[in-house]
Chain A
Amino acid sequence: MGTIEQDTELLRFSTAGSVDDGKSTLIGRLLYDSKSIFEDQYDQIKATSERRGEEGVNLALLTDGLKSEREQGITIDVAYRYFATPKRKFIIADTPGHIQYTRNMVTGASTANVALILIDARNGILEQTRRHAFISSLLQIPHIVVCINKMDLVDYGEEAYEAIKDEFSNFSNKLDVKDIHFIPISALKGDNVVDRSENMPWYEGQTLMHYLENVHIGSDHNFIDCRYPVQHVIRPYSDEYHDYRGYAGRIAGGIFKKGDEVLLLPSGFTTKIAKIETYDGELEEAHPPMSVTMLLEDDLDLSRGDMIVRPNNKPEVSQDLDAMICWFDDNPMQQPRGKYTIRHTTQEARCIIQEVLYTLDINTLHRNQEDTKVKMNDIARVAIRTTKPLFTDAYRNNRITGSFVLVDEGTNNTVAAGMII
Chain B
Amino acid sequence: MNYQLSHLRELEAESIYILREVAAQFEKPVLMFSGGKDSILMVHLAMKAFYPARIPFPLLHVDTGHNFPETIEFRDNMVKKLGAKLVVGHVQTAIDSGMVREEKGVNASRNGLQTAVLLDELEKGKYDAALGGARRDEEKARAKERFFSHRDEFGQWDPKNQRPELWNLFNGKKQYGEHFRIFPISNWTELDVWQYLALEEVELPSLYFAHKRKVFAREGTLLADTPIIERRPTEQLIEKMVRCRTIGDMTCTGVWESEADTLEKIIQEVSTTRMTERGGRTDDKRSETSMEDRKKKGYF
- Residues of A at the B interface (CB closer than 8 Å) are 1, 3-10, 38-41, 44, 48, 62-63, 65-68, 70, 76-82, 84, 88-89, 91, 103-104, 106-107, 110-111, 217-218, 221, 223, 231-232, 234-238, 240-241, 244, 246, 248-250, 255, 277-280, 287-291, 293, 304, 328, 341, 343-344, 346, 399-400, 403-405, 407, 412-414, 417
For window 160-177 of chain B, which residues contact chain A by CB distance below 8 Å?
160, 162-169, 171, 173-175
The 25 listed contacts between A and B (C-beta, < 8 Å) are A4-B198, A5-B7, A40-B279, A66-B292, A67-B289, A70-B289, A78-B144, A80-B187, A82-B137, A84-B189, A89-B189, A104-B164, A232-B23, A234-B53, A236-B52, A236-B53, A246-B52, A248-B49, A250-B168, A278-B48, A279-B47, A279-B51, A290-B13, A341-B173, A346-B24
* Interface size grouping (class) on chain B: 35 or more
**Which single member of A6, A39, A346 contacts B6 (CB below 8 Å)?**
A6
User: Does B274 contact A39, Cβ atoms closer than 8 Å?
Assistant: yes
- The answer, yes or no, to whether B106 is at the interface (CB within 8 Å) is no
Contact of B143 among A79, A232, A290 (CB under 8 A): A79
Smallest beta-carbon distance B128→chain A, Å: 13
Which residues from B are CB-within-8-Å of A70?
Answer: 288-289
Task: Point out the residues of chain B lying under 8 angstroms from A343, CB to CB.
Answer: 169, 171
Q: How far is the CB of A15 from chain B (nearest CB, A)?
A: 14
Q: Please, how many angstroms separate the alpha-carbon atoms of A8 and B47 in the complex?
A: 25
Digitize B103-141: 1 where CB-to-A-CB distance is under 8 Å, 0 elsewhere.
Answer: 000000000000000000000000000000000110111
- The answer to whether B267 and A80 touch across the interface, beta carbons within 8 angstroms, is no
Contact call B167/A9, Cβ cutoff below 8 A? no
Name the A residues within 8 Å of B141 (CB-CB): 65-66
Report the Cα distance A291→B51, complex, angstroms.
12
- In whole Å, how far is A2's beta carbon from the nearest beta carbon of chain B? 9
* Contact of A84 with B14 at beta-carbon distance under 8 Å, contacts A77-B144, A237-B53, A304-B24 already known: no
CB-defined contacts of B195 to chain A, threshold 8 Å: 4-5
Q: How far is the CA of A241 from the CA of B53 in the complex (A)?
A: 8
Beyond A6-B6, A250-B17, whether A110 also contacts B166 by CB under 8 A is: yes
B 50-79 binary contact with A (CB < 8 Å = 1; else 0): 111110000000000000000000000000
CB-nearest residue of chain A relative to B6?
A6
Instruction: Contacts A89-B189, A232-B23 known; list 15 others, CB within 8 Å.
Output: A3-B268, A38-B274, A62-B140, A65-B292, A70-B289, A76-B160, A77-B144, A77-B160, A82-B136, A88-B7, A232-B24, A234-B52, A278-B51, A289-B10, A414-B164
Q: Is the CB of B3 within 8 A of A10?
A: no
Query: Once the chains bind, are A413 and B20 in contact (CB under 8 Å)?
Result: no
Residues of B within 8 A of A287 (CB): 3
Chain A residues with CB under 8 Å of B53's CB are 234-238, 241
A218–B6 CB distance below 8 A:
no
Contacting residues, chain A, for B185 (C-beta < 8 A): none
Interchain Cβ contacts within 8 Å, total number: 193
A9 touches B20 (CB 8 A): no
Shortest C-beta distance, B300 to chain A (Å), equals 17
From residue B185, how far is it (CB to closest CB) to chain A in Å? 12
Verify A234–B50 contact, CB threshold 8 A: yes
A70 to B169, CA, bound (A): 30
Q: Tell me the complex Cα distance, A111–B159, Å.
A: 21
One of B5, B17, B166 near A403 (C-beta < 8 A):
B166
**Contact residue among B5, B167, B174, B198 (Cβ-Cβ distance under 8 Å from A3):** B198
Contacts of B93 in A (CB 8 A): none
Compute how far the CA of A104 lies from the CA of B163 in the bound complex, rounded to whole angstroms.
10
Per-residue contact bits, chain B 186-201, to A (CB 8 Å; 1 contact, 0 not): 1101011001001100
Chain A residues with CB under 8 A of B12: 291
Residues of chain B contacted by A293 (CB below 8 angstroms): 51
- CB pair A412–B167 under 8 Å, yes or no, is no
Residues of B within 8 A of A236 (CB): 52-54
**Given A48-B288, A234-B53: A6 in contact with B199 (beta carbons within 8 A):** yes
Cross-chain contact B175 with A412 (CB below 8 angstroms): yes
A412/B10 contact (C-beta < 8 A), A3-B198, A91-B187 known? no
Q: How far is the CA of A399 from the CA of B167 in the complex (A)?
A: 8
CB closest residue in chain B, given A47: B288
Q: A9-B4, A231-B20 are in contact. Are A80 and B143 (CB under 8 A)?
A: yes
